[in-house]
Structure 1
Amino acid sequence: MLFGIIPTPPPLRARSRVYDLKARLDWGEPALTIIDIRDRQEFHFSHVMGAISMPLPELVKRALSTLELNRDIYLYSDTDEDTAAAAVQLRQAGFRNVSEVQGGLPAWKAMGYPIEKGVVVGG
C-alpha cells in the first residue's frame, strides 16, 4: 500500500496461476499485456478476454516493436511447454516482467473466467 491508502498488486511471478491473472485484471490496473501465442485461427475461435494474438513464430519481433521491455506480460497457450518456450524467447530478447500462465486457456475456461469468441475465417 502506498501510505496505507492505495493498495498495490503483488509482484509479477515467473509463473502465474489463472486466478493470479484474474485477480490482477479485477484489480483494474491497465499496465499489463496478455499475449495468446497460439495460431490466429485458434485465437479467433476463443481467447482470454483482453488478450492479444502474437503467434509464437512472430512473437519476439512483434513484441519488440509494440511493447516496452519493462511491461508486465502474461503469456499463455494450450500447453505449458509452448508457454515456457515463448517466455524464454521474450526474456532472452530483454523483456524483464514475463509470467507464464500455468494451464493456459484450458485452465482459464475451467475456472469459468471470461473469454471472447469470434468466427473462424477461412477454416
Structure 2
Amino acid sequence: MANNPLGGIIPQQPPIEPQSDVHVLKSRLEWGEPAFTILDVRDRPTYNNGHILGAMAMPIEDLVDRAASSLEKSRDIYVYGASDDQTSEAVNLLRSAGFEHVSELRGGLAAWKAIGGPTEGIVESRTPAGADDYNVVDRLKAHAETQKKDV
C-alpha cells in the first residue's frame, strides 16, 4: 500500500488476456488507463502509412531486441501485425523473451478501424474527420453502435 497510496481508490487492472478484442483496447484508451503499450510489428513503411494512434513501431525482425531495451517485462503489451499469423508469431517471440503480459490484438488495424478507433499516419491524415468527431452526443451514439459490432 505504501507504493500505491491510491490502491484503495483505483482498482487494480485484471491481467490482460492472451488474445484481446479491439473493444477492450479502445475502452482502456477512452478511460485513459495508464501502463500499457501498443506495438505495431509490421514493416516501417506500412506503419508510416497508418497505424493505431499511439502505437510504437517495432518491426518483427527487431522486435525482441528493441522491446527488451525499451519496455518493462511486466508491462501490458498489445501487439498487432499485418495478419493474425504475424501477430501470433510476434507475441510468441515476446513471451519467449520473458514478457509476461502480452496480448494478440485480434483483427489488427482493420478491426480497429471498423469500430472507429483513432489512427494516425500518412494515409490516415488524408481521411477527413467524421461528422461525429467534434460532437460528444454523436460520439457517444457512435460508441454505442460500435460496441454492438462483431469484429
Same fold (TM over 0.5): yes
SS in 2 for 1:57: coil
CA RMSD of aligned residues (A): 1.4
TM-score by length of 2: 0.73
TM-score by length of 1: 0.89
Relative CO higher for 1 or 2, CA cutoff 8 Å, sep ≥ 6?
1
User: Do 2:15 and 2:101's aligned partners in 1 also have CA atoms closer than 8 Å?
Assistant: no
Deviation (angstroms), 1:8: 4.4
Does the alignment pair 1:12 with 2:20? no
Q: 2:61 aligns with which of 50, 57, 60?
A: 57
Name the CA distance, whole Å, in 2 between partners of 1:36 and 1:73. 11
Does the alignment pair 1:77 with 2:81? yes
Does the alignment pair 1:29 with 2:33? yes
Please name the residue that 1:89 is paired with: 93
Name the CA distance, whole Å, in 2 between partners of 1:26 and 1:9. 15
Does the alignment pair 1:99 with 2:97? no
Structure 1 stretches lacking a partner, 5+ long: none
Higher strand share: 1
SS in 1 for 2:79: strand
Name the CA distance, whole Å, in 2 between partners of 1:70 and 1:10. 13
% same residue: 52
Structure 2 stretches lacking a partner, 5+ long: 1-6, 124-151
Name the CA distance, whole Å, in 2 between partners of 1:112 and 1:39. 23
SS in 1 for 2:61: helix
Dislocated runs of 4+, deviation >4 Å: none
Name the CA distance, whole Å, in 2 between partners of 1:27 and 1:9. 12
